[in-house]
Amino acid sequence: MRRDLVSALFWLAVAIFAAAQGLALKLGSLKQPGSGFFPFWGGVVLGLLSLVLVARSLGRQSAAGPLVRPESSRLLVVAGALLGYVLLLERAGFVAVTFAFLLLLLRLERRGWAFSAATAGAGAAASWALFQLWLKTQLPVGPLGF
């Protein structure tokens, strides 16, 4: 199966889920939209675009490459890293988890260790300063106190 067909089917499933959740909420009207108005119509538009991509993918007559290539395995690593980020955020703290996540992303891009560590540290510190100091939001604090 081609990668564009797989992604189109994935987004079609997301669209169906969004539209169904929107229907479960109050749709309202165009002049007085309810809480389900945007998810429903967003799902409808996303579904239509996904169907167009499915049709284009099925209509092409080209040699299909393998579904999983070495560069597509990086996508699975990033998806796993995002899941890990969410699961570890409360336990390890915002700064530590953000640093580790950025370090992983930079290493996946084959950057050097020194550059990756410095950039991840700067990114984690800058995002902490943005949210904690400037926007005054409360971020999860890890065992190290930051």
The predicted-structure confidence for 62-108, as pLDDT tens digits, reads as follows 555 555 555 667 777 888 888 888 888 888 999 999 999 999 999 99
Copy the structure tokens of residue 2. 């081609």
Handedness of CA 127, 131, 134, 138 (dihedral sign): negative
Distance CA 97, CA 91 (A): 9
Q: How many residues does the chain have?
A: 146
What are the percentages of helix, strand and coil residues in the chain, rounded to 5? 70, 0, 25
Contact status, residue 121 vs residue 91, Cβ threshold 8 Å: no
Q: What is the pTM of this model?
A: 0.54
Amino acid 72: pLDDT? 64
